[in-house]
Amino acid sequence: MSDVEVTPEAQPQLHGCPLSDSRGQTVVHPTRAQYVALMKKLLDGGYVMCSDLTATDYLTHSGRTLPEGIDAERFEIVVNLTAIATRDRIRIRVQVPESDPLIASLFDLWPGTEAMEREVFDMFGISFDGHPDLTRILMPEDWDGHPLRKDYSIGRIPVQFKGSNS
Amino acid sequence: MTSVENIFRTNEGAQEMRPRSEISAKEILREVGSVLRMSEAEVAKLGQMPAEADEDQTMIINMGPQHPSTHGVLRLMLELQGEKVLRCKPIIGYLHTGMEKTGEELTYMQGGTNVTRMDYLSPLNNELVFSMAVEKLLGIENDIPERAVWMRMLLSELNRMSSHLLFLASNGMDLGAVSMMLYGWREREEVLRFFQKVTGLRMNHNFIRPGGVAADLPPGWRDDVLTILEMLPGRLAEYDILMTDQPIWRERLQGVGVITADEALALGTSGPILRSTGVAWDLRRDQPYLHYDEVEFDVIVGSYGDAFDRYAIRINEIRESIRIVHQVLDAMPLGDYRIQNKKVTPPPRARIDESMEALIHHFKIFTEGFKVPEGEVYVAIESPRGEIGCYIVSDGGPKPYRIHMRAPSFVNIQALPHMMRGGLVADAVAVISSIDPVLGEVDR
């Protein structure tokens, strides 16, 4: 990547956001404030396809490595972008605090994130500001809780034994 | 409970498409404009979207979830004006079983049984992407034995054939070419019979596992593959006579469900839908995995982005897969079919009888599983339906901390409202069929 600047502290950055390497894959760590502006720049820079948008709940994780200056929060939005022309991929990880689970929607940049953001809303309870139709997508509308959160118990349906009618 | 209450209880409320009286014209235009990458004002000028259509002229009807041509439990709400579809909203989730949550409770060894059930028409590709993600986390992705890699390619390509054959069958059936359904299933059956011989199961194989594959190819496998490869070209030529060259078939598909390259990219679609618009994007060629950079094949692209292009791409991709499999047969080396890394590979059966340590080791791997270093990866491959991705976060334990599958059908389905807008309700079936969604993967 040509526009990677190496700062004196040897912390590689892209558009002012720290970069890290995860098993050979490039990861950018913007703050929530930088998120949309960064995505806009990446879209203009050739990442025309938003392959994937998901989230992770780090509630019970034993500890992850994040670049300096990024404070770990409970939730993380993970976006995978693809550049068709350069055959390149990049991943964006944004920290979202538990106290305020809200992040800007990417709908205006990639309309294809519509269903993915709804899925994250449904499964993690993270709201997307500016999403046109933020409703549950996989669970029923009246469902309580967000199943992929780590504090959501798996639960069991008690087995019912019934006598046969014959 | 009365039947009226019953209906109310199955109502999805806010997920449903709202009638025009409840939403503003601005909201409708925003939905259209974001897809076309235009401002609301420009969309309004197009005039194709009557923002002020009369409520008493339009009707909202349900198509599905139980409908033979929705390929599962896909429910579409269509707003019709006469025969014309004005708006469409897919409602999904009827097959949701929380497979990503289940995946967090299964070890990496067991995970294959879970992911293979997502896209049940290309189970081997699901297993492949899951295994590749786990191997990348373990750092052994370059140590997989050659035979295992070529076996994975063989199975992946045969799976692509069987999946596309099923598409031809269901596409034919949806459009009234019912005899095609029988032919498609018949040919697919030959491929499934081979899978059964190799993996023991026709579907949901759990055969490709982290570290390699579960077993070696059975004796006589080469002849079985050659039989399939010799049978298929003639049958594909028959399909051309039956469908491709037939005027009724062309009339039914050409110009239906058109999407442009920009729209397809904006919507994140991949696979045959993206390629039908002329974008030559195939992960097998553009971001090669396994040994796809060592075999020769063409990426099939369309030029009009309509349902016919998507049909033609799939039938020709079967031909390309035949080419690839021929090369795989020539290149298949002898050797090990799984990595000899004691950490991930259980000891062979024979060792268990003679060594207590091997028995303990075997027991530990299958009860506790193996530990995977902390980290996160996203691996994507080309499934018959498009880019299937696997995002795994590991916390260093024997189970994935988070496993997410980027399902191609889930994303491709978003193109439905756009493809259907302004079309006829009779063409809706053709459009759904041309997307070829697998609802097991959409809902997971």
Structural domains for chain B:
3-91 (no CATH), 99-406 (1.10.645.10)
Of residues B70 and A26, the one with the higher pLDDT is: A26
pLDDT at B1 (0 to 100):
42
Of residues B7 and B123, the one with the higher pLDDT is: B123
- Whether residue A93 lies inside any domain: the answer is yes
Interface of A with B in 9-28 (CB under 8 A): 22-23, 25
- Whether residue A94 lies inside any domain: the answer is yes
pLDDT at B227 (0 to 100):
93
Chain B residue with minimum CA distance to A124: B101
pLDDT at B31 (0 to 100):
64
With 60 as the cut, is the pLDDT of residue B69 above it? yes
- Whether residue A12 lies inside any domain: the answer is yes
| Contact assignment for A139 to B96 by CB distance below 8 Å | yes
Q: Which residues of chain B have a CB within 8 Å of the CB of A81?
A: none
With 90 as the cut, is the pLDDT of residue B327 above it? yes
Interface of A with B in 147-166 (CB under 8 A): 147-148, 154
Shortest distance between the Cα of B184 and any Cα of chain A, in A, equals 31
Q: Is B53 exposed, middle or buried (0-12, 13-18, 19+ CB in 10 A)?
A: middle
Mutate to test the interface with B, among A122, A138, A152, A157 (most CBs of B within 10 A): A138
Which among B137, B265, B270 has the least Cβ separation from residue A23? Answer: B137
Q: Which residues of chain B have a CB within 8 Å of the CB of A57?
A: 402
| Contact assignment for A62 to B395 by CB distance below 8 Å | yes
- Write a three-state SS string for chain B: CCHHHHHHHCCCHHHCCCCHHHCCHHHHHHHHHHHHCCCHHHHHHHCCCCCCCCHHHCEEEEECCCCHHHCCCCEEEEEEECCEEEEEEEECCCCCCCHHHHHCCCCHHHHHHHHCCCCCCCHHHHHHHHHHHHHHHHCCCCCCCHHHHHHHHHHHHHHHHHHHHHHHHHHHHHCCCHHHHHHHHHHHHHHHHHHHHHHCCCCCCCCEECCEECCCCCCCHHHHHHHHHHHHHHHHHHHHHHHHCCHHHHHHHCCCCCCCHHHHHHCCCCCHHHHCCCCCCCHHHHCCCCCHHHCCCCCCCCCCCCHHHHHHHHHHHHHHHHHHHHHHHHHCCCCCCECCCCCCCCCCHHHHHHCHHHHHHHHHHHHCCCCCCCEEEEEEEEECCEEEEEEEEECCCCCCCEEEEECHHHHHCCHHHHHHCCCEHHHHHHHHHHHCCCHHHHHC
CA distance B112 to B414: 27
With 90 as the cut, is the pLDDT of residue B317 above it? yes
Residue corresponding to tokens 């759904």:
B432
**What is the CATH number for A58?**
3.30.460.80
Q: Is A150 exposed, middle or buried (0-12, 13-18, 19+ CB in 10 A)?
A: middle
Mean pLDDT of B39-47: 57
Mean pLDDT of B41-70: 68
Classify the phi-psi angles of B71: left when phi > 0, otherwise alpha if psi is within -120 to 50, otherwise beta. left
Chains A & B: contacts with CB separation below 8 Å = 123
pLDDT at B178 (0 to 100):
87
**Of A123, A113, A108, residue with least CA distance to A92:** A113
- Whether residue A121 lies inside any domain: the answer is no
Q: Which residues of chain A have a CB within 8 Å of the CB of B372?
A: none
Interface of A with B in 49-88 (CB under 8 A): 49-52, 54, 56-57, 61-65, 78, 80, 82, 84, 87
Residues B207-257 pLDDT 10s: 999 888 988 899 999 999 999 999 999 999 999 998 888 898 998 898 888
Which among B101, B375, B411 has the least Cβ separation from residue A154? Answer: B101
Segments in chain A below pLDDT 50: 1-2
DSSP reduced 3-state for A94: strand
With 60 as the cut, is the pLDDT of residue B185 above it? yes
What's the residue count for chain A?
166
| Contact assignment for A141 to B404 by CB distance below 8 Å | no
Shortest distance between the Cα of A19 and any Cα of chain B, in A, equals 15
DSSP reduced 3-state for A55: strand
CA distance A26 to B252: 45
Shortest distance between the Cα of A123 and any Cα of chain B, in A, equals 10
Chain B residue with minimum CA distance to A112: B267
Q: Is A118 exposed, middle or buried (0-12, 13-18, 19+ CB in 10 A)?
A: buried
- Whether residue A90 lies inside any domain: the answer is yes
Dihedral (CA of B264, B265, B269, B272) sign: positive
pLDDT confidence tier of residue B273, bands split at 50, 70 and 90: very high
Shortest distance between the Cα of A83 and any Cα of chain B, in A, equals 10
Mean pLDDT of B385-395: 92
**Of A26, A155, A149, residue with least CA distance to B378:** A26
With 90 as the cut, is the pLDDT of residue B313 above it? yes
Shortest distance between the Cα of A149 and any Cα of chain B, in A, equals 9
- Whether residue A129 lies inside any domain: the answer is no
DSSP A116-159: HHHHHHHHH--EEET-TT---SSS-TT--S-TTSTTS----PPP
- Whether residue A79 lies inside any domain: the answer is yes
pLDDT at B343 (0 to 100):
81
Domain count, chain A: 1
User: Which residue range(s) make up the domain with A74?
Assistant: 5-116
Mean pLDDT of B262-276: 90
Shortest distance between the Cα of A164 and any Cα of chain B, in A, equals 23
With 90 as the cut, is the pLDDT of residue B377 above it? yes
Mean pLDDT of chain B: 85
Chain B residue with minimum CA distance to A48: B265
| Contact assignment for A56 to B279 by CB distance below 8 Å | no
pLDDT at B6 (0 to 100):
47
| Contact assignment for B265 to A84 by CB distance below 8 Å | yes
- Whether residue A35 lies inside any domain: the answer is yes
Mean pLDDT of B159-181: 90
ipTM of the complex model? 0.86
DSSP reduced 3-state for A40: helix
pLDDT at B55 (0 to 100):
65
Strand partners, B90: B76
